[in-house]
Chain A
Amino acid sequence: MNPSKFNIYQEALLNSAAFSTRRLFLKHCGMGLGAAALGQLLGSCAPATENANQGVLYDPNNPMMPRAPHFPGKAKSVIYLHMAGAPSQLEMFDYKPDLAKLDGQLCPESLLAGKRFAFIRGVPKMLGPCANFKQRGQSGAWVSDYLPHFAELADEVSFLKAVHTDQFNHAPAQLMMQTGSARLGRPSIGSWVTYGLGSENSNLPGFVVLTSGRQNRDAVKTVWGSGFLPSVYQGVQCRSAGEPVLYLQDPHGIDRDLRKASIDAINEVNRKTYEEFQDPEILSRIAQYEMAYRMQVSAPEVMNINDEPAYIQEMYGVKPGKESFANNALLARKLVEKGVRFVQLYDWGWDTHGTGADGAVDIGLINKCREIDKSMSALILDLKQRGLLDETLVVWGSEFGRTPMQENRNGLELPFKGRDHHADAFTMWMCGGGIKKGVTYGETDEIGFSPVSGRTSVFDVQATILNQLGFDHEKFTHQFQGRPFRLTDVEGEVIRAIV
């Protein structure tokens, strides 16, 4: 017996319980419209107004049920490629010929006044671009020769060249980018999205996280946590080696057949308990056991890249059995194809301070670019050839950028060419999911230090992502600690130039 075989009465009861739960929930998150009417400072602290019922129809007994956003969104799912550690925009996208002329000269004091840096002390020297740049495609976007494959796709994406944040250390800045706050405790963007939209595939987690890169990893689980949202919305880390989802494998000595039999028995006993107690929670428990069984079948299937045709494997450059960005890029495509709502990739190892060869913008960075170039390009092409790109938003970026000055950690000259953390200006790109093609928005000054036009904030980026999915970021709130919280806090504007 499965839920569809409940008698009509039971079904009605389940529905009514779910409905009352929703009603109750609505009562508690019926805030948000007021935010739109108020000024920047107050936005998310706005109290309830009369017709403010914009809360999420979330049902604790079926938390992943698909839900409609505020308005029809262009994107159904998101693949977010986060390059943790902060790649140098000055070697990849933000071409600054004038910076080359200043190479080796002392940084003007005026540039440093009032600025806080993570490691630069005193007066550092300027560091010219280490890569060769060319304008690409019809759009003429600048992409360096560090990314030869991606350069071919410049016309598919929109670049944001003047993104800024207010954090200049990895963990707080990653939290800022992914949760809208530099402090611990807020839900990540993937949690917000699955909370708001549910998931199309009930046999897979709605929010999947895939990781690659070196072992030294910042922030980790806190950047895909669900914060104050129910824990069901946290990112589920799927692994390309070992069990794809924790506790997915049957224990030794239990085969599929026995597993099915034991789940049937558990559900049968639970059903009898339900007859006694009439508690609808028992019904959803039964449904969850059945879903767990199905997930045990579907997750390994979708996580298996070996069955992909050779030309696809070649296109991404996958390394079966290993953890790699290429594998994760291919998995991301497979997951959104199966209806997973939000796929978040983290690739670590981009922190190029120049303290070693790995962290040199003219050595290590080239290798890191090589690791992602082919596979992220393949991802875009593959989504496109399957007709998925229009409904899948691909976001590429990091937590901040890097300085046009060469890092002089502890006031000393470092052995390799490196750049310090820079919060004021860095590059991101987006593609698919209703994003315009071939747009370059935002510009930095001659040396790439400060934005001069089209300056966008972390909150603007988040607002734009939510917008593509059909959410008004100012109305998308959750009541917590007595006030409605937003991903975008009290700020953020949709970047109209690229949508």
Chain B
Amino acid sequence: MKLSILQNSRYFLFSISLLLLLLLLANWVGLNQESVHFNSQVKPIFNKKCISCHGGVKKNGGFSTMNREEMLRPNESGKPAIVPGKPAESELMRRITAHDPEERMPYEASPLSSKEIGILRQWIKEGAIWGTHWAYVPVQPVKVPAINGFLGLFSAKGSSWANTPIDKFIYTTLKEQQLSPSPRADKATLLRRVSLDLIGMPAPDSIARAYLQDQSPRAFENLVDALLASPRFGERWASMWLDLARYADTKGYERDPGRQIWRYRDWLIRALNADMPYDQFLTEQIAGDLLPNPSDEQYLATAFHRNTSTNDEGGTDNEEFRVAAVLDRVNTTFEGVLGTTFACTQCHGHPYEDIKHEEYYRVLAYFNNTRDEDTYEDYPLLRHYPTADSVKLDSLCTWVAKVSTPQRSMEVYTFLKTLQPSIYSIAGDRFVNCELYDTKTLVMRKDASARFKQVDISGKTKLICRVKTHLDGGRWEIHQDSTNGPLVTAIDLPNTKRDWNLIELDVKAPRGIHDLYWVYQNPGIKEITQGGISFDWFYFTDAFPAEDNPEAKKYQADFWHLLNSRPQTTPIALENPAHMQRTTNVFERGNWIVKGKVVQAGVPKLLGNVPQNAPNNRLGFVQWLVDKKNPLTARTMVNRLWEQVFGMGLVETLEDLGSQGAIPTHPELLDYLAWQFMHQQQWSIKAALKQMLCTNTYQQKAEASPELYEKDPYNRYYARGPRVRLSAEQVRDQALALSGLMSTKMYGPGVMPFQPEGIWASPYGNEKWVLSEGEDRYRRAVYTYHKRTSPYPSMLTFDGTTRDVCTARRIRTNTPLQALVTLNDPVYIDAARALAKRMRYAGTDVDRQIARGYYLALKCKIAPNKQAVLEKLHEKALKKYRSNPKLADELFGTEKYQTRPAVPPWWW
């Protein structure tokens, strides 16, 4: 670190004097009281001193500092607090300067400083011009600072160092802070740094070797390209997104049973590897089901918002937990995608931002019309047919389109893929001698009836129901409007022998929207308390098309074959059809039971408008989200990518770019990157990352002098390279990769690597942690089965999240329990054994073996002083094991937990 400012003392003195000049200049501006800046000078005073009593929540005296309109409005005293241009006539000025403590504001707090009073006076004098917080203004193009052109003051060194736009921004701030960049790190360091950043593990040997041998100036860029192209890339970045998506393999809450939703994780890995543009990435996850003729992949993407917890605990109110999930979707979207705090507006107006209570529910209205209702089965589900059945489905739908209409074909397709739109039995009410058992499944007993409100049966001729019985002699009648109203249909129920079956009923030409009454009778039932039929859902439809067509029989058979098959499924989002739309109310004080006024879908005014011609549903919402005028989406994402690479965001609070979030260290750079991301890189995550990595800023040495540490302990100015602790996933993956144990198998259900006994304690279920077989024990961390109530212990110890709710940022800790994991967790003992075997390929000399191990781990030569420490340890251990061979056997021989066969050293 000899690039010190003292060496360039000439420039140093010169720039000091320049700085002084600039300061004087600034002061002079101040003295002349020209143009107060609202966002940087006025708004902070309001936020700090006024807003708790005069803000979005409390408006004491009828006065609020939330926006200009409210501020200029006459308050309870009848006069406005502020008269633009006239500080002397403004009540606000009188009150902040009053001497009477009963009058003086802020009330019962220390008075404003004279400087603050001066700022407010000047601001009112200038017309009380309002400004919007920077993060809510659409991103504008930013000019890259010119390094050479600045009065020729910077050294030639600076201009050659700052040779990319990012470097130019960084260099400019470094100079302002009187710091200088560090030299470039050596190749081994860069190799490890960029590999961990891009693929979350050390580079495979082929890539590593190619880079270390590549002497061209493009060597680093080639390395970045190779890593971006590796399938490991998607696995590493999926880990990041899964925290936002609160992905888990279980449903959460009390029973926390398993949920088959791993295909979403696989979708994510594929999307990231394919570098799906971020706008499309968001569109498919939030509204893939509303795209025209959605593909399986687009449906799968919508599982993003089906990762919410559902509650199977007996006695819980299903609507309560449906609503909880919908609220979670809104909060997750705002926190994760928009980097803004919205959850507080669930109960009242936003305390600091100009967002109203009602606006929360306008956004909620977009999300409030999906088919999920906290059912036991997690409906709606996408059905994954095996290939042969998929072929059948395609030809069936093609045929239906031919003999009927494309619309009818789509209905058949949607129903066979999702069993929707069906009505769940939990929606029933007016139960007579029937009950929702475990509050999830409707069971009808002797002479039972239940009502389903407002069902559209117009023109329908068939009814399909999912039922389970174990008795003969049961009969169902379905009546319109009351239990003895007009008969819609009736059936003598089959005995399904305690298995869920689908039954079809003919419906007699009904019309309109009606309350329907299901009446169950079974004279065979003796005890009034004995259950007769379990009932899951029903679906009204039309008769199978073209029944007189010679092919109809075959296709109808295919239809029922597909319907009765039990393929694997994934929970997805699916919109309610028009006749099943829910209305959305404001919840008074956030309480879902106390419903306030009805609201229509819309976005907060502060954050712009929905694009013209956007549909009024989730698809329209997402079009607003990815609109290039949306001020937050791109900024939030580039800030997140920056944080992943540099260890801290340009705005430290990834979850809040708002006026209460951290102040950006490099606001112009953030906007530059956001603009590039949208307009130049066409939302390419890989391009955005490459731009950040192929900079001198990123490639600096991470070593720092004590002076630099003191000046910039968190490396906020980037006078050195990033040095970031590994994530939970990276800790595991690195150990597996270095030891050669790692399986590179991709995709599939969550795997269960070694975990101590007795970690899982799930009530009611029989689910157990069963150690995976073969290579599945050595899969990357992203594939580890995640149970919400018992996450994989070593992941939690290294600050992994429980995935209960969206987590925008992990907080890193440094604890003794982490040391215990890497010292004693059998996973790491196993890896250590395997690494030892790899080290022995270096030959019989211990010093060479140690050097080899160090090289495998860090791709660089071990320093002699470290080599000496390790040799000493080896010596001590050897002596111990020689004198006590039993101990050595215990370490290497008799473990029940066996390692994979050693891999040859060229494998990586």
What is the interface of chain A, defined by CB distance below 8 A to chain B? 9, 13, 16-17, 20-21, 24, 28, 34, 37-39, 41-42, 45-51, 60-61, 63, 116-119, 121, 168-172, 183-185, 205, 211, 215-222, 225, 228-232, 234, 236, 239, 242-243, 245-255, 257-259, 261-265, 268-269, 272, 276-281, 284-285, 288-289, 291-292, 295-296, 410-413, 421, 481-483
Contact = CB atoms under 8 A, between A and B. Distances in A.
A289 B819 contact: yes
B881 to A, nearest CB: 8
17 contacts: A28-B662, A38-B53, A41-B348, A216-B763, A220-B256, A247-B794, A247-B821, A250-B823, A253-B890, A258-B877, A265-B870, A280-B709, A295-B820, A413-B529, A481-B655, A482-B655, A483-B344
B837 to A, nearest CB: 15
Contacts of A218: 254, 313, 763
A292 B758 CA distance: 22
Contacts of A117: 315
A120 to B, nearest CB: 9
Nearest to B437: A410
A39 B106 CA distance: 17
Given A218-B763, A222-B789, A265-B869, A45 B254 contact: no
A252 B891 contact: yes
Interface stretch (B93-101, B698-706, B731-739): B698-706
A184 B804 contact: yes
B34 interface: no
B869 A168 contact: no
Greatest chain B CB density within 10 A among A51, A119, A220 is at A220
B829 A231 contact: no
Contact of A278 (B341, B704, B863, B877): B704
Contacts of B569: none
A388 to B, nearest CB: 26
A10 to B, nearest CB: 9
A228 B804 CA distance: 11
A243 B789 contact: no
Given A118-B314, A171-B311, A216-B764, A20 B713 contact: yes
A205 B818 CA distance: 12
B890 A249 contact: no
A225 B894 CA distance: 37
B313 A171 contact: yes
B84 interface: no
A48 B435 contact: no
Interface string B8-48: 00000000000000000000000000000000000000011
B703 A50 contact: no
Nearest to B881: A253
Contacts of B710: 13, 16
A285 B814 contact: yes
Given A230-B799, A481-B655, 4 more contacts: A231-B800, A231-B813, A247-B823, A272-B865
Contacts of A243: 756
A71 to B, nearest CB: 21
A262 B894 CA distance: 22
A179 to B, nearest CB: 11
Nearest to A348: B763
A482 B658 contact: yes
A296 to B, nearest CB: 7
Contacts of A60: 811-814
Contacts of B102: none
Contacts of A49: 48-49, 52, 106, 109
A217 B799 contact: no
B662 to A, nearest CB: 7
Contacts of A184: 252-253, 309, 788, 802, 804-805
Contact of B109 (A50, A220, A242, A413): A50
B820 A248 contact: yes
Interface in B852-908: 863, 865-866, 869-870, 872-873, 876-877, 880, 887-892, 894-895
B895 A219 contact: no
A482 B723 contact: no
Nearest to A236: B817
Contact of A183 (B106, B324, B340, B814): B324
B761 A45 contact: no
A32 to B, nearest CB: 11
A185 B704 CA distance: 38
B55 interface: yes
A239 B589 CA distance: 42
A414 B328 CA distance: 38
A63 B815 contact: yes
B158 interface: no
A42 B351 CA distance: 9
Contacts of B414: none
A63 B617 CA distance: 46
A17 B894 contact: no
A447 to B, nearest CB: 22
B789 A220 contact: yes
A252 B895 contact: yes
A16 B702 CA distance: 19
Contacts of A280: 709, 713
Nearest to A116: B317
Contact of B820 (A24, A247, A257): A247
Contact of B723 (A16, A232, A279, A285): A279
Contacts of B311: 169, 171-172
Nearest to B725: A281
A117 B873 CA distance: 65
A170 B764 CA distance: 14
Given A261-B877, A412-B529, A253 B820 contact: no
A50 B110 contact: yes
Contacts of A252: 890-891, 894-895
B841 interface: no
Nearest to B893: A253
Given A185-B805, A218-B254, A46 B790 contact: no
B354 to A, nearest CB: 14
Contacts of A61: 814
Contact of A253 (B812, B817, B892): B892
A210 to B, nearest CB: 13
A372 B439 CA distance: 32
A178 to B, nearest CB: 13
Contacts of B348: 41-42, 45
Interface string B313-336: 111110000001000000100010
